[in-house]
């Protein structure tokens, strides 16, 4: 709960019963004055209990009955404490219109107005920034998901280049797989001739290990090539223009060198 210091004018009205605010003899008090006094005390009680909206309403009704401008300052203080800055400014402007004689009070109200107007401008600026941020987030969330088949020609061109690049990568991987597979096969044939009954001399252990590494490398590059070409073909199929010749792409695995496999693509 926010704590707000009671304004000086509030205590002035409260502690000086002989002041013009409520300085009438009991016999001369009108019914409106009695009701205004009751409303003033009610507003004071609400203010002390931090019920600022109710306090502002009570002070406003007291002013309507008594016509005493000081009550407008009390109402403005309560409105400010309630966070209703624009309404507080309007009430203080009314005070300046109806109170033309009390120079000290007018000077104090002018100071309050300068502070409140600066606060109102800050609040309006923060509110505008928050609304702009929310609008930007909402616009970002409403962006449609673009289907590659319905994308503009430029996006399809980029996608086609990507697909062809993937196929090129797959082809390069296939070349590496083929080369390492052939080397592995040649080395394997040499070892078969040099190692009867699969028993090799200790000095040939390095050739055996190298042959194993070449076979593994061939297999790895074979699968990389298959995956790259398959991805490229898929991208090309998805970005195929409606005016293109409607042929289907066919991908099939073929035996490859080493322990790997090859890839055959037909359009």
pLDDT digits (tens, 9 = 90+) for 210-249: 767 777 787 877 877 778 777 767 766 776 654 455 454 4
Mean pLDDT along residues 27-39: 79
Together in a domain, 24 and 66? yes
Read off the pLDDT of residues 58-114 as tens digits, 9 standing for 90 and up. 999 999 998 999 999 999 999 999 999 999 999 999 999 999 999 999 999 999 999
**Does residue 129 sit within a domain?**
yes
State the pTM of this model. 0.44
Co-location of 259 and 188 in the same domain: yes
Flag the least confident range among 136-140, 154-158, 237-241: 237-241
**Pairwise CA distance, residues 267 & 192, whole Å:** 42
8 A C-beta contact, residue 69 and residue 95: yes
Task: Report residue 31's pLDDT band, with 50, 70 and 90 as the boundaries.
Answer: confident
Range with lowest mean pLDDT among 24-38, 138-152, 199-213, 236-250:
236-250
Q: Determine the pLDDT at residue 175.
A: 78
> How many structural domains compose the chain?
2
Same domain, 110 and 155: no
Same domain, 21 and 130: yes
Determine what percent of the chain is predicted with pLDDT higher than 90: 33
Burial class of residue 127 (count of CB atoms within 10 Å of its CB; 0-12, 13-18, 19+) = exposed
Which of residues 119, 139, 159 is at a domain's end? 139
Find the range with the poorest average confidence among 107-111, 127-131, 259-263: 259-263
Residues 16, 82 share a domain: yes
Residues 40, 111: one domain? yes
At 172 the pLDDT is: 81
Q: Count Cβ atoms below 10 Å from residue 33 Cβ, excluding itself.
A: 17
Per-residue pLDDT, 16 = 34
Instruction: Check: CB of residue 99 under 8 Å from CB of residue 106.
Output: yes
Same domain, 131 and 168: no
Q: How far apart are CA 166 and CA 183, in angstroms?
A: 26
Residue 132 and residue 169 in one domain: no
> Domain residues for 179?
148-266
Is residue 135 domain-shared with residue 12, that is, in the same domain?
A: yes
Judge whether residue 137 has pLDDT over 60. Answer: yes
Backbone angles phi, psi at 265, to 5 degrees: -115, 130
Q: What pLDDT is attached to residue 266?
A: 53
**E strand segments, 1-159:** none
What is the distance between the alpha carbons of residues 70 and 31, in angstroms, rounded to a whole number? 20
């Amino acid at each position: 709960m926010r704590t707000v210091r009671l304004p000086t004018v509030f205590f002035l009205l409260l502690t000086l019963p002989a002041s013009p605010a409520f300085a009438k003899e009991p016999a001369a008090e009108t019914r409106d004055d009695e009701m205004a006094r009751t409303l003033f005390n009610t507003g004071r009680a609400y203010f002390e209990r931090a019920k600022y909206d109710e306090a502002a309403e009570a002070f406003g009704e007291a002013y309507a009955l008594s016509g005493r401008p000081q009550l407008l300052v009390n109402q403005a203080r309560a409105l400010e404490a309630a966070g209703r800055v624009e309404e507080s400014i309007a009430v203080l402007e009314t005070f300046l219109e109806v109170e033309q004689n009390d120079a000290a009070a007018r000077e104090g109200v002018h100071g309050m107005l300068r502070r409140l107007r600066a606060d109102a401008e800050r609040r309006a600026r923060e509110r505008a920034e928050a609304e702009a941020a929310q609008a930007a987030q909402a616009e970002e969330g409403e962006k449609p998901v673009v289907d590659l088949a319905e994308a503009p020609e430029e996006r399809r061109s980029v996608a086609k280049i990507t697909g062809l690049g993937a196929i090129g990568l797959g082809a390069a991987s296939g070349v590496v797989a083929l080369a390492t597979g052939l080397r592995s096969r040649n080395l394997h044939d040499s070892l078969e001739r040099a190692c009867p009954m699969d028993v090799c001399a200790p000095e040939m252990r390095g050739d055996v290990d190298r042959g194993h590494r070449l076979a593994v490398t061939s297999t790895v590059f074979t699968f990389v090539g298959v995956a790259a070409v398959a991805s490229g073909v898929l991208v090309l199929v998805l970005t195929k223009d409606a005016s293109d010749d409607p042929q289907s792409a066919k991908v099939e695995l073929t035996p490859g060198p080493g322990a790997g496999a090859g890839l055959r693509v037909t359009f």
